[in-house]
Structure 1
Amino acid sequence: MKYLCLIYDQERDWDAMPADEADAWMAECMAAGQEIEAGGHLVASEALHPVAAATTVRIRNGTLSVTDGPFAETKEHLGGFYVVEARDLDEAVRLAAKIPSARTGSIEVRPVVDFAEQPA
Structure 2
Amino acid sequence: MSQYLLSIYQPDGDIPPPAVLDPIMRDVDAVARDAKAAGVWVFSAGLFPSSTATVLRPEGADVLVTDGPFTEGKEHLGGITVIDVPDLDAALEWSRRFAVALTLPVEVRPVSGSG
1:87-106 alignment, distance < 5 Å: 87-100=86-99, 104-106=103-105
1:81-120 alignment, distance < 5 Å: 81-100=80-99, 104-114=103-113
- Aligned Cα RMSD in Å? 2.0
Once the two structures are TM-superposed, the CA of residue 32 in structure 1 deviates from its matched residue by 1.7
* Structure 1 length-normalised TM: 0.84
Once the two structures are TM-superposed, the CA of residue 102 in structure 1 deviates from its matched residue by 7.2
Unaligned runs of 5+ in 2: none
2:21 matched residue in structure 1:
22
**Equivalent position SS for 1:45:** strand
Q: Distance in 2 between matches of 1:74 and 1:90?
A: 30
Q: Distance in 2 between matches of 1:94 and 1:27?
A: 19
Once the two structures are TM-superposed, the CA of residue 108 in structure 1 deviates from its matched residue by 1.0
1:6 matched residue in structure 2:
7
2:33 matched residue in structure 1:
34
Q: Which moved more, 1:2-11 or 1:21-30?
A: 21-30
Q: Distance in 2 between matches of 1:102 and 1:11?
A: 19
Q: Distance in 1 between matches of 2:77 and 2:56?
A: 17
* Structure 2 length-normalised TM: 0.87
Q: Which moved more, 1:95-104 or 1:83-92?
A: 95-104
Instruction: Give percent identity, aligned residues only.
Output: 38
Change over 3 Å in CA distance of 1:108–1:52 after alignment to 2: same
How many residues are matched?
114
Q: Is the 8 A contact 1:9 1:101 kept in 2?
A: no
Q: Which moved more, 1:28-37 or 1:78-87?
A: 28-37
Q: Is the 8 A contact 2:28 2:101 kept in 1?
A: no
